[in-house]
């Protein structure tokens, strides 16, 4: 006999998955790469642009701790920055219509896109300059990860519900396992942090705190 599901049952199931869901894969350090998403001056330098994310600035010591641990254990660290690429001709055409754009943009913003100095990449580490939110959109990131023989990405950085969340979704759709840091990602409106984590937790990623990531990576 086919089981029937009540509205109450399906709502309860969804509620539990959003808040308590845990992706059923093991964290294997040798298969991981760390993605440091857009921790650049435009988002991290206090008071410099209207795009400043104060929580991202506060999270710098935590992200630095993760970067240091990954470097010490030969986990590749890959940076991204939102930058002027290909004379802006590689950006989605609809981007200019979005309300997160500022008409009075300073010409220097999002041009050279320096990584915040406390998190500066080493000379041998890759920095990908991307034209849109997700780190896989029109970049060689997928090829780089495959050449490194990595099938799991750890995501930290900013913004949780834009560049970080979009990268997590793109990684998932390309068959990568995704570990998403709950306290090492930040957004410009703190009320949006938990809703985004809940969606990722249910359908796209294993959502962990920094302490949980470190324990699972280096157990």
- Residue 112's pLDDT is what? 81
User: In the predicted model, what is the mean pLDDT of the chain?
Assistant: 93
168-to-44, 98, 135, 172 alpha-carbon distances in Å: 21, 21, 9, 6
Mean pLDDT to the nearest integer, 64-73: 98
The C-alpha atoms of residue 208 and residue 110 are separated, in whole angstroms, by 30
- Residue 101's pLDDT is what? 67
- Residue 106's pLDDT is what? 62
Calculate what percentage of the chain has a pLDDT beyond 90: 82
Mean pLDDT to the nearest integer, 103-123: 84
- Is the model's pLDDT at 65 over the cut of 80? yes
Cα torsion through 33, 122, 134, 96, rounded to 10: 180
- Residue 1's pLDDT is what? 75
User: Which residue did the predictor score with more confidence, 81 or 109?
Assistant: 81
Quick one: pLDDT band at residue 113, thresholds 50, 70, 90?
Answer: confident
- Residue 102's pLDDT is what? 57
User: What backbone torsions phi and psi does residue 178 show, to the nearest 5 degrees?
Assistant: -125, 125
- Is the model's pLDDT at 85 over the cut of 90? no
Domain 27-217 adopts which CATH fold? Rossmann fold (3.40.50)
- Is the model's pLDDT at 88 over the cut of 80? no
- Is the model's pLDDT at 103 over the cut of 70? no
- Is the model's pLDDT at 105 over the cut of 60? no
Mean pLDDT to the nearest integer, 152-174: 98
């Amino acid at each position: 006999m086919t089981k029937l599901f009540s509205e109450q049952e399906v709502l309860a199931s969804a509620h539990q998955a959003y808040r308590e869901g845990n992706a059923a894969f093991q964290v294997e350090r040798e298969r991981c790469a760390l993605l440091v998403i857009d921790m650049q001056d435009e988002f991290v330098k206090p008071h410099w642009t209207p795009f400043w994310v104060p929580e991202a600035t506060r999270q710098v010591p935590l992200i630095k701790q993760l970067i240091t641990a990954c470097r010490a254990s030969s986990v590749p660290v890959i940076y991204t920055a939102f930058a002027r690429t290909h004379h802006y001709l590689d950006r989605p055409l609809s981007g200019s219509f979005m309300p997160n754009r500022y008409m009075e943009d300073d010409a220097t913003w999002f041009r050279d896109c320096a990584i915040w100095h406390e998190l500066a990449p080493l000379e041998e580490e890759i920095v990908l300059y991307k034209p849109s939110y997700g780190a896989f959109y029109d970049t060689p990131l997928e090829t780089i990860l495959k050449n490194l023989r990595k099938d799991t990405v750890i995501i930290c950085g900013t913004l949780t519900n834009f560049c970080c969340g979009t990268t997590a979704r793109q990684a998932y759709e390309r068959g990568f396992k995704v570990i998403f840091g709950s306290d090492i990602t930040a957004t410009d409106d703190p009320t949006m942090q938990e809703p985004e984590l809940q969606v990722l937790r249910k359908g796209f990623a294993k959502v962990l705190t920094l302490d949980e990531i470190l324990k699972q990576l280096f157990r």
